Amino acid sequence: MTATATAAPPIARAAASQLSFEERLALAALAVDARIATTPLDLADVIRLPVETPQPSTPCPYDTPLAAVLHRARVRLETAGWCTGQLRDEQGAACLIGAIRSEAASRGQADDACALLLQLIQRDFGDDHTIPSWNDTQNSPRPVLLYLDRAAEHAHNHNL
């Protein structure tokens, strides 16, 4: 059964308002079928796959667990993007804590990496900062990536 969708004249619209719910539903289904038949559907417009984070092109230069987590968090921010005000945004970008949590093997490992990063931030910017507050005051990802590098280097040098 094929139907064509055309604008109904005013008299037909008035008559349609007197149809039962089931009759209006059947007409609506016919109109949708007709539109689908005349409009090609591209599945790329409909299906949204999860954001894939590409693997780093170079291997991790660190062999200690916390340094490796901090390095992977840096790579994640470089590839997937950095954001403020939330752990992750709709495009897949993450804040400092979101990136670290995504790369850590456990919650405890993420907490340890965040504690180390917080020590460095508070040493340089004052004790009143938290990781989220410091992250949200940055205007670009550049200082965020720099502090992930510093924290990874610190963890590596102290065998953490």
Whether 41 and 97 share a structural domain: no
Q: For residue 51, is it within any domain?
A: no
Q: For residue 3, is it within any domain?
A: no
pLDDT in tens, 53-88: 555 566 889 999 999 999 999 999 999 999 999 999
Q: Percentage of the chain surpassing pLDDT 90?
A: 57
Whether 151 and 75 share a structural domain: yes
Q: For residue 90, is it within any domain?
A: yes
Q: For residue 30, is it within any domain?
A: yes
Q: Which domain holds residue 113?
A: 65-157
Whether 83 and 132 share a structural domain: yes
Rounded mean pLDDT of the chain?
83
pLDDT in tens, 74-131: 999 999 999 999 999 999 999 999 999 999 999 999 999 999 999 999 999 988 889 9
Whether 37 and 116 share a structural domain: no
pLDDT band at 1, cuts 50/70/90?
A: very low
Q: For residue 59, is it within any domain?
A: no
Whether 28 and 96 share a structural domain: no
Whether 70 and 144 share a structural domain: yes
**pLDDT for res 5:** 47
- Could you write out the three-class secondary structure of the chain? CCCCCCCCCHHHHHHHCCCCHHHHHHHHHHHHHHHHHHCCCCHHHCCCCCCCCCCCCCCCCCCCHHHHHHHHHHHHHHHHCECCCCCECCCCCECHHHHHHHHCCCHHHHHHHHHHHHHHHHHHHCCCCCHHHHHHHCCCCHHHHHHHHHHHHHHHHCCC
Whether 26 and 76 share a structural domain: no
pLDDT in tens, 139-150: 999 999 999 999
**pLDDT for res 42:** 60
Count of domains for the chain: 2
Whether 107 and 138 share a structural domain: yes
Q: For residue 56, is it within any domain?
A: no
Whether 73 and 30 share a structural domain: no
